Chain A
Amino acid sequence: MREEFVRQGLIPVATPSPDELKTFVRHEIAYWDRLLHTIGLAGSME
């Protein structure tokens, strides 16, 4: 599958554990919350 990803232009990654992924998701939510408020798009969609 790695080779197919590369052939399609994707960058394969070694996945973190599911628990680490949960933390990752929480961090991403916080990161994008700050950024979307900064660029004025927070709450811009129904």
Chain B
Amino acid sequence: MLGRSLTVALALLAALPCCRAGAQDSDYPNRIVTIVAPSAPGGLYSLFGRILGTRLEQRLGKSFVVENRPGASSVVGALAVARAPPDGYTLMIASGATMAVNVTLHRKLPYDPAADFVPIALVARVPEVLVVNAQLPVRSLADLVALARTRPLSFASAGPGTAQHLEGEMLKSALGLDMLHVPYKGALPALNDVVGGHVAMMFTPIPR
């Protein structure tokens, strides 16, 4: 889900077994459906949840409410969905971080992506770009690599284990660079500090 070409895939999931009751009923949905976004408000999950929720409301005539459950690289939100009643009324927007990366990244992950959720749909990919502070003498990846070979650089991320973190680590590992990871609580404060020159660079999704 976290693509090989710097895209992040977003999927819609439900707690397993979602079809035991509720979602299989002919009148589904007959009450509010919650779409959990396992990140802080204002991020990509929220954006996607709002787009999807609005369209589902129009089509099905019931409210689909986005609920942000940030924390621990999406573990808090994912765990809440895994523990929710498996009736199709609690859905989750997830990316590769939630569904694949966390399995190996965490020493003890309190949910099993393959066993605790039913994947419903893969719906979009998110292109990511590498941005640097404008004051740096960098206009290309080659410039960046050359600069990083003369002095240590820092890269920001939305938090440990996020796509931005892993992409930075992959760049660092592939090119043998000395780069310091600076994690933030969300993509927006990270991007703000890149703009302000406190951190040199970050990978960031294009949608904002």
- Taking Cβ atoms with an 8 Å cutoff, the residues of A that contact B are 1, 4-5, 8-13, 15-16, 18, 21-22, 24-26, 28-29, 31-33, 35-46
Residue of A nearest to B94 (CB): A25
Q: Choose among A4, A8, A10, A15 the residue with the greatest number of B CB atoms under 10 Å from its CB.
A: A10
Residue of A nearest to B7 (CB): A11
Which A residues are CB-close (under 8 A) to B127? 9, 11
**Chain A residues, CB < 8 A from B1:** 24-25, 28
User: Number of contacting residues on B, CB 8 A?
Assistant: 46
**B105 CB–A CB distance under 8 Å:** yes
| Residues of chain B whose beta carbon lies under 8 Å from any beta carbon of chain A | 1-2, 7, 9-11, 47-48, 51-52, 55, 72-73, 96, 99-101, 103-108, 113-114, 118-127, 160-161, 166, 169-170, 172-173, 205-208
Instruction: Give min CB distance, B170 to chain A, whole Å.
Output: 6
In the bound complex, do residue A11 and residue B125 qualify as a contact, i.e. CB atoms below 8 Å apart?
yes
Known: A9-B206, A10-B10. 7 other contacts (CB 8 A): A4-B55, A5-B124, A9-B208, A21-B121, A32-B101, A36-B105, A45-B105
**What are the 6 tightest A-B residue pairs by CB atom distance, in nearest-first order?**
A21-B119, A28-B100, A9-B207, A9-B206, A11-B125, A15-B121
Cβ–Cβ contact A10 & B124, under 8 A = yes
Whether the Cβ atoms of A11 and B100 lie closer than 8 Å is no
Contact A8 B104 (CB under 8 A): no
B100 pairs with A29, CB closer than 8 A: yes
Q: A38 contacts which chain B residues (CB < 8 A)?
A: 173
Instruction: Please pick, from B108, B122, B206, the residue contacting A16 in the complex, using a CB distance under 8 A.
Output: B122
Task: List, in ascending order, chain B residues with CB within 8 A of A15's CB.
Answer: 121-123
